[in-house]
Structure 1
Amino acid sequence: MIVHLQLARLHAGGYATAAPATADDIDGLAHVLGVPLPPAIRAIYEDHEAEASDLGPLRLMSPSEAAEAITALRDFGVPFDDHELGTFWTDDNSNYAGVFASGDLAGRVFRIDHEEPSPEPCWRSVESFYDALLDARDSGLGWWDLATDYPREPTDQTPEDDALGHRLFALYHERPDSPIGQRAAHQALALSSATHEAHVVSLLGSDDMWIQERAVQILGHWRWEPAVASIAEVVRNGEHNGRTAGIHALKQIGSPAADAALRSLSQELGDSYV
């Protein structure tokens, strides 16, 4: 449940500007969601119904607004299971953040970019999300600049994330061509640490351009030098998204081997070098 520190920061900063939501409004939102509200969300609404729209990158929607957003996003076809899609914050420009309300990822927080919606988790908890959101508000940052917990660093040691990542990779390999399997691949990549290296590298060979791209991005985020040769092969022969991501990843890695691979690829591919 959201801790008193985050609620205190919300009130001290003038962000919590409304009275508590009514029990009927909270129950109505839960009815639309189709599962009980995450405990932290219920605690927030019992403290305040909405947040100021002009004081930061995202604001808490009222229960009625959240219900409308959940319904609209389901109709739009975002890649979430209906009962996962607890969307509670917006930037009022068709971008959202929300909590996985059910399933293996329950309690973790996601964000939805209207240009490229992804089912990946971004924060481990509502508490972590609010700390990042309030820090961003204090620093004048945009909604996409919030510090996140995912994707993880390669040395991040969180056994729960490791175990869930393994389960999601297994689900993907069982059903690689299904929407459930493809969603699991993106979620597994976000949850990956170095213990999942073999899984991540194997997805460089995916013929799904979005999965291949995300696998490359994760290795670039890790600055993972052992993958330089594999990333270079994606730049040579991968999908367009993967090729573009591969060049960026090699620049992120920035080691002598990565720099040498970039020079070689530029000479080898000539005008086709992205």
Structure 2
Amino acid sequence: MMKHADKPALPRRILIMLLAAAHLNLAGCQTVTLVVYNADSDTYDEELIHFLRLKSGEIVVFNNEKGMHQNVEARLKGKTVKEKDFTANIASVREMIAYYPEGKAFSKEKIVLAKEVHLLNGLYARCNQEGFRFDERTGKVSGVSWQGREYIINPDSIELMYFSFPEVINMDTLKNNTVYYPQALLMMSNLVVRTGQEGVRYLEQEKKITGTTVDNIQAEIDINEVESIAVYQYDLVKSAIYGLSWILGAVLIAVLVDIFEHDHSDPSNTGVRVKP
């Protein structure tokens, strides 16, 4: 004959119900509120932008991934002499070269007079007050930069030598959305970017909201075009209260069920006397 399994003890049953209640609470009992902020003056949860209203009156609704607040660094946009578009963060630009003096081909006798050399691979090198040196034994050009970086250069890789420093554009005076006409940009990475005749446009730091809309359109919106922003916020206090109510309810049910089963399983509580 099959034996009936004993029912779990009360503490164990309470534990099971607590776990079930906790699972239900985490799965569906968080309190969410939709809050609308003024984009010009209020702060908001940058990662949960549900939709926004533009100053033009247009409503932009983002998909489930929501819109994101993004800081776009100050930058230069333009084309190279080879007509390739580029964007360079202003922090990565060492100098904007207004004009370069005439460059000369490599000469081992005159390399000691050079202030700057440009290489065939698009890089440049400047040395400290010690200047460049040509080693007759190794046939290499050497020097130390102002930052303490040592150069060892193959003369065959040198495109041009410059015997004076170039004129520069003061980057502290750049104005937003203004076009400048540098001959080249010297980057912090020692790259030389030769710029085209159309010039480069300076754009100051911007705040944008980016994301994919419900219509599957990639949106990039300037914060100055936004009137108001709607975000979802989670109320942790209310969620905790709801969670506690679930747990207390589970405990109460477990206790009541145990009392009910105990009363109905004890023959002495049925009101019927059994004769010996």
**TM-score, with length taken from structure 2:** 0.19
Higher Rg: 2
Greater strand proportion? 2
Q: Which of 1 and 2 has higher RCO (CA within 8 Å, sep 6+)?
A: 2
**TM-score, with length taken from structure 1:** 0.19
Greater helix proportion? 1
